[in-house]
Amino acid sequence: MAERSRIIGIDLGTTNTVVAHVRNRIPKVVPSERGNLVIPSMVALASSGDLLVGGPARDQAVTNPRNTVSGAKRLIGRPFESLAVQELKSALPYEIVPGPDGAAAVKLGERVLTLPEVSSHVLAHAKKVSELSLGGLVTEAVITVPAWYNDNQRSAVKEAGRLAGLEVKRILNEPTAAALAYGFNRKLRKKVLVYDLGGGTFDVSVLQLDNNVFEVLATGGDTFLGGVDFDRRVAEHVVRVFEQLEGMGLSTSPVARQRIQFAAESAKMDLSVIPNVMLELPFITERRGKPVDLRVPLTRDQLNALTQDLVDRTFAIVDGVLAQKGIRRQEIDEVLLVGGQSRMPLVQQAITAHFGKPPRKGVHPDECVALGAALFADSLGALDAVTLLDALFMPIGYAQPSGAFKAVLERNLPIPGARSFRLPPPRESDPAEISLELFQGDAQRAGDNEFLGRLVLPASAAGQKVELRVDAEGLLTVTVGEGANARAHQLSTRDTPEAVRRTLADRDARKAGEPRVAPAPEPGLLSSLKKMFGRG
């Protein structure tokens, strides 16, 4: 009998996590302790003081929204003060606080958990479920992340894996995993487009498959477009109709909101299969001490009208990604669907209309990423089994003294890959050290991009060569100097708001000695610091 593999593939999703494993060359999803194919990516602190993970956490989410964390994937690896976190803060029912290192963290009861800790509970659960199902220790994993994840986010997922007791053999991009699930060992030569509409984000990638060489040609997406936006449209509609029918406002209590949101999501999913549904929520509010129920009908046509513009937005992004490399729609041989929201009939009709052919059937949108990760994990021992050629999703560069962003690694740069630049030559007025702030994004102002970290160099580094290198996992290394003097540097992203405030204050005090490769951490951070100190 073949030796049992102890490595798993994990699709750590916004909404759900899927685990897969290859046995005798066949990848299969590992069922959860409840026999489901997905584990809800949720962690909760129950009133009993127990930490709940997966299904049990989801079960009590309606009654315990403050202490139930979902959507950690949108927060992990982001500074608390980043625009993304500040925007999510008001939309999420649980409390987001600054962690010890300035990163976003969550507060459950009196406990503050970092996001890698939250995700590590989900990953540890995935590990436990696999061990029960496979009958042995599981110590290694390949974990997938969105193609657009930056260096901080990738590192944070690796850290989560470590905390869960897993050796993360590789961080793999989700669209590449989906393409692997479709094309691995099938001797195909095709251009495929991966259309991934998940719970929170939309991603699109075009890959060239040539036997077991998987090359990403172009990639793009929107990190704030996904199933939850569809749910929100339905929920808003339901509240409007209820208010018209009942002539009264609907309570904005977190429990009522959470119930309506869950009902909206269920209705939306049911409408993928049946043409009309009734949303029913008994005792949603009360009038003069008497319970009032919510009963609102919804048809698929209504759902389509409420969300057509969201679907249209995905195709504007698809066209933009194809245009990056001058690829015509007709050149796409197959469209692969990933993400639960791609099950919506409106999405599938739109794909058929856009590409003149229906999306590929037989690649399961919820499972293919985990299956691809498991296939890749299984192939790791075999030399040259698979070649992955990836591309950089977003430019990486530094902030210039004016605050403008200077890209060094361009979008779609094949990775692994590197580019270098020179620090300006030394000048009389130089400060004692050079501070280099690195960002990732395509905005012209550095502060509008994602802050990756700061590199503090001695003044003697002026004029030296700096190389930015992204490895196969999308992780960044910065090397300063040349030849025997070249030294790899760690980026410090551990700046707490206080530390950044001190740096800014120092710089203000030093007016004349403004560093030449300089300012701006996060835009949100800067503006909140300015507000805090009454400047600007």
Which residues are near ligand AMP by CB under 6 A? 13-16, 198-199, 227-228, 265, 268-269, 272, 339-341, 343-344
Concatenated DSSP letters for 447-488? GGSEEEEEEEEEGGGTT-EEEEEE-TTS-EEEEESSGGG-EE
Q: Which is nearer to ligand AMP, 300 or 501 (CB)?
A: 300
- Minimum distance of ligand AMP from residue 71's CB (angstroms): 10
The residue type found at 492 is S
Angle, CA of 201, 527 and 512, to the nearest 5°: 130
- Minimum distance of ligand AMP from residue 369's CB (angstroms): 8
The residue type found at 423 is L
- Minimum distance of ligand AMP from residue 304's CB (angstroms): 12
Q: Could you give the CA distance from residue 193 to residue 362 in angstroms, rounded to a whole number?
A: 15
Residue sitting closest to ligand AMP (CB): 227
Other beta carbons within 10 angstroms of residue 219's beta carbon come to: 27
Q: Could you give the CA distance from residue 132 to residue 130 in angstroms, rounded to a whole number?
A: 5
Tell me how long the chain is. Answer: 536
- Minimum distance of ligand AMP from residue 367's CB (angstroms): 10
- Minimum distance of ligand AMP from residue 48's CB (angstroms): 28
The tokens for 149 are 């994840």
- Minimum distance of ligand AMP from residue 15's CB (angstroms): 4
- Minimum distance of ligand AMP from residue 200's CB (angstroms): 7
Do residues 177 and 19 touch, judged by C-beta distance below 8 A?
no
Nearest to 369 by CA among 27, 117, 25, 4: 27
For residue 500, report the phi and psi dihedrals to the nearest 5 degrees. -65, -40
Do residues 457 and 481 touch, judged by C-beta distance below 8 A?
no
Other beta carbons within 10 angstroms of residue 310's beta carbon come to: 22
Q: Could you give the CA distance from residue 162 to residue 124 in angstroms, rounded to a whole number?
A: 10
Q: How far is CA 343 from CA 148, 197, 232, 299, 317, in A?
A: 22, 9, 18, 16, 19
- Minimum distance of ligand AMP from residue 217's CB (angstroms): 23
Cα-trace Rg, the chain: 24
